Amino acid sequence: MENIQLSNILHIQEASKQGKLVMFVGAGVSANSGVPMWSELIQGLKKELPDSLKNETDDLKIAQLYKDSRGYKEYIEKIKELLLHGKIAPNPIHDAILELAPCHIITTNYDDLIEQNIEQKFMQYHIIRKDEDLPYTQYQNMLIKMHGDFNVGNIVLTENDYYNYNNNFPLINAFVKSLFASKLILFIGFSFNDMNLKILLNSVSNILKENMQRIYLLTNKDIDSIQRNYYEKKGINIVELTPEFVNEKIKMQSINIDDIGLTSQYGIALYKQLVLIKQYRQENDLIDYLYKRIKSYEDEIKVLGNGLKYIFPEEEISFWNYHSSGLQIHSPYIKNLTKKLQTYTGRKEFINKYNGKIFYLRKQAYLNRIFKIDNLKIVNTTFYRKLKKLFPTTTGIELFYELDYINLSNYLKKIRHQVKKYNIEDLELPYLLYKLGDYYQAYLMYKDLANENWKKQRYILYFICMHNIHAIRYGIKIQLMNRSDIDHEKIVKDIERIDLQDVLIKLPIDKSIKHVLEDLLSYRFHSINLVESDILKEDLSGQRVSAEKGGFSSNSKIFLLEHKSYQELDFCNENFIICDNNNYSKDIYYNVAAGILISNVTKSNGDRFFGQTKIDELSKEHLLILIFHIQNENLLKIYKRYNIENIILSENGCSFINSIIRNANESINNNNSMNYLIINRDSVCNIIQNIISIINKSNCENINYSDLYPIINHIWDNTYFMRFGKDITNLIYKHKPKINDAIFLINNIMSVHNDDNSNNATFLLCSYLNAQNVTIDNIKSLNDIKINDDYFYLASLYPALSENLKKEAILWFRENLNALYYAALIHSNYRIPILDVATLSMLIEEPFNNVSKYKQIEETVCAVLVLIRKDTKQQELHPILDQFGTVNECFNFLINPLHFKNKQMIKPTWLCRCEDDILKELLKDEVLRNKMKTYIKEDYWGKLEYERIWKIL
């Protein structure tokens, strides 16, 4: 018999988890708030009726006679008086009812005790007091007052009320009866002789017959076999939870029962019954419980992260802290287990008892990055040694993160031809297509998988498919924008009609998993992680400032910050859920990337016992965030905002970058993987840009820099240099390409050149070719160069031109340049001898005219002319410049700043052209000092000089 009752409890629990539990609440619940029972109510009416009715046993007739003889107003006031309307409050049983999270609550009580409790708990139940309320339900959950309500004045009590019930409450009657066909119905607070119970069950059974779900009736009594058989034939499961049975299970499972303040034995028993139903675990200890819970949904969702708090039993969580190395929950079970495992006997007993379950749960802990719970280490050294056995195969996402498109191409072909398993593995292919930027193909697959998983009742997988479709709708639009054969607007409109919240509410899935998915839709964990990551990032910035002043901080903030991104990463990649393309995730990755870089460049202070907590070297795990999960423009913003200059890569990090470069090159040369490489050119460009931005700041000499250039050439796009010219230039400056790659890159630049963003890089490449005695063969004449008034573009190509073309170029410059600004810069910076006596004499007559594109023309021209004046190899130009000096004060100042006499004329822009040691001397003068302070604070261009000048000041 005990097994039957435990099975009943488990069925009720499962219905609660799946949102299919409906609770019928009878008078026995309100009685514990002081509300009289039915018999007391009828007796109270009898007292005011003639003595001739004292022996009347028909309760409905008595109520009818009272109403007929006294009239409605006196009748309803009397009922309110007898039932203490407005003078009562909810009791702990009401709390226990709501704890079971019924999808609907149906009551035959007239009082408002359940409504009061719902309001106190801030829960969302639409109150149905009359038929007219049903069409206007605002929430999925309802409280149905099927026998009316005092406030509406439609209570069902008299003989006529019951006989006319179907006519007076047709919608409520039909809706309540429909629930018996699809939900698990649990009656509480009803006796076996309850008239309402008998009428309702008889009515329902006549309609549904064999289609009626079995009904559960809760009692604290032992029922004899004859009665039990009688009720079972009516489709009622008697849940016999006697006080002895309940107390035994509560004690065995260490369920905490507070001092609830109930006085009646029936009330105390009912409260304990409901608490036991809520908290009973089929497994007597935490390990068995977690094993069974996690095992039950592992085929549909692998990683819950912070969502694990919905899985753990409430009594094992004093509070929840999901930190960088695991969980802190102050679990009584874990505390006892930790103590037990300190002895050899305890460890042996533990291993013998749980055996395979231990390793399974450790694997799950590892996937969820829970390395310890409280003080109990979960993932130990032995486990790490067996990692390759636990995860023997390379996954598609790992191949993606190494740009191993050759093996990824083969991997995709392999899983594309696999038979559907209707588990989480089916979602890997469309998820990888999403990562590669093929949103449309991913959409088609998700659409197909959603339909099939719905038919197979794999509702978690169904929801993930629907969520992912919704998450990629804008990607689909962009991908299909230029295709006329597919109506992408209709696809996006159809997707946007999907109400994911409504979809989720209606799905019959475990309530714990539903909470996880609700948090996904509401961005709850995302928003919490974002706020916390922002605080941690700024704390790390503060620690860096402190370290610069000699201080140090020993704490786990950088590890906590890293953990935020790993939570996001693992939840996405392990569950194949697309949730890394929203603004919350992007901002979290930004904060984590900033924190990683800040920590890496923070100065090391302290000693080996109490030193600065920081990331000494960036490993593969750090680079995965920096390369794949942040836009390059944001990475560059971090560099600028936090003054990141020199970052240190670990050997592991350098190897990771080399493997990406090697794999990308191999993919370029392999036609089978080419399509996957260029599905989303912007994504690949961003990855390569991030790599270049990182290695430009790094110390690593082992990176195959020259192998980057074939990749750059392959993904070349005109917009590339517009957003990234500076970093490409830095790369070329530090690490030269092979000659063929250099020529290829120059040709790429020339093919799309339309602005000056690429001139510096072009000049470096051409200078490199010149040093190797190589010229650009496909430039046969100056007509092959689309100059378009960009004088610096021709100047940047000059070093790699043939000798004849160089002579032509010099003549072209002399004939076409009409501004000294351009001529001076090209002559000096590009080392092209275009300024002869005739040219300089002509241009210096109007030295600052014909230039509108640039600022500080005078300062720039004078600074270049000063360099020419100091160059002894260009003495033929000196007389012209000396003459110029007699009329231009800026030139005179820059020739000899410290001996310039007219200090009132000195401008801040002139001062900024001075070397630091000279500037420092000049700024000892208070007038110049104040001028400079105003300039760097108020002028746009002055603010750009702020950091340099402020150090000198």
DSSP per position, 140-177: S-EEEETT--TTTT----SHHHHHTHHHHSHHHHHHHH
Provide the strand spans (E) within 631-697.
Answer: none
Q: How distant, in Å, are the alpha carbons of 8, 9, 95 from that of 3?
A: 9, 10, 27
- Chain centre distance of CA 609: 37
pLDDT of residue 675: 58
Q: Contact, 416 vs 429, CB < 8 A?
A: yes
Q: What angle do CA 717, 579, 481 make, to 5 degrees?
A: 40
Q: How confident is the model at residue 471 (pLDDT cuts 50, 70, 90)?
A: very high
Task: Answer whether residue 679 shows pLDDT above 80.
Answer: no
Report, as an integer, the average pLDDT of 766-776: 94
Q: Where are the alpha helices (DSSP H) in 209-264?
A: 225-233, 243-252
Q: How many CB atoms neighbour CB 679 within 10 A?
A: 16
Task: Give the Cα separation of 289 and 312 in Å (integer).
Answer: 9
Phi and psi dihedrals of 128, rounded to 5? -105, 105
pLDDT of residue 856: 86
Report pTM.
0.81
pLDDT tens readout for residues 320-354: 888 878 889 998 888 998 999 899 998 898 888 88
Provide the strand spans (E) within 354-420.
Answer: 372-373, 376-377
- Looking only at the bridges linking them, the beta strands covering 376-377 and 372-373 are antiparallel
Lowest mean pLDDT among 185-199, 234-248, 534-548, 871-885: 185-199
Q: Where are the alpha helices (DSSP H) in 472-556?
A: 473-480, 488-496, 500-506, 511-522, 524-548
Task: Answer whether residue 717 shows pLDDT above 80.
Answer: no
Tell me which architecture the domain covering 2-33+90-279 has in CATH.
3-Layer(aba) Sandwich (3.40)
Task: Answer whether residue 755 shows pLDDT above 70.
Answer: no
Task: Answer whether residue 208 shows pLDDT above 60.
Answer: no
Domain ranges of the chain: 2-33+90-279, 36-82, 297-390, 423-510, 523-648
Torsion sign across C-alpha atoms 301, 302, 304, 308? positive
pLDDT of residue 710: 92
Quick one: DSSP state of residue 923? T
Q: Contact, 285 vs 17, CB < 8 A?
A: no
Report, as an integer, the average pLDDT of 462-485: 94
Residue 392, burial from CB neighbour count under 10 angstroms (0-12, 13-18, 19+): exposed
Task: Give the Cα separation of 443 and 521 in Å (integer).
Answer: 19
Q: Contact, 520 vs 470, CB < 8 A?
A: no
Q: Is 184 helix (H, G, I), strand (E, B) or coil?
A: strand
DSSP per position, 231-243: HHHTTEEEEE--H
Task: Answer whether residue 721 shows pLDDT above 60.
Answer: no
Task: Give the Cα separation of 322 and 305 in Å (integer).
Answer: 8
Report, as an integer, the average pLDDT of 81-107: 93
pLDDT of residue 365: 85
Q: Is 105 helix (H, G, I), strand (E, B) or coil?
A: strand
Return the amino acid letter for 601.
Answer: V
Contacts of 443 (CB under 8 A, 6+ apart): 430, 469, 472, 476, 491
Rounded to 5, what percent of the chain is helix, strand, coil? 65, 5, 30
Q: How many CB atoms neighbour CB 573 within 10 A?
A: 21
Q: How confident is the model at residue 551 (pLDDT cuts 50, 70, 90)?
A: confident
Q: How confident is the model at residue 210 (pLDDT cuts 50, 70, 90)?
A: low
Task: Give the Cα separation of 550 and 545 in Å (integer).
Answer: 9
Q: Contact, 671 vs 405, CB < 8 A?
A: no
pLDDT tens readout for residues 408-452: 999 999 999 999 999 999 999 999 999 999 999 999 999 999 999
Average pLDDT along the chain: 89
Report, as an integer, the average pLDDT of 231-239: 84
Report, as an integer, the average pLDDT of 938-946: 85
**Residue 16 tokens, joined:** 């609660």
Task: Give the Cα separation of 140 and 100 in Å (integer).
Answer: 16
Q: How many CB atoms neighbour CB 657 within 10 A?
A: 23
pLDDT of residue 306: 87
pLDDT tens readout for residues 778-801: 898 888 888 777 889 999 999 999
Quick one: DSSP state of residue 213? P
pLDDT of residue 852: 67
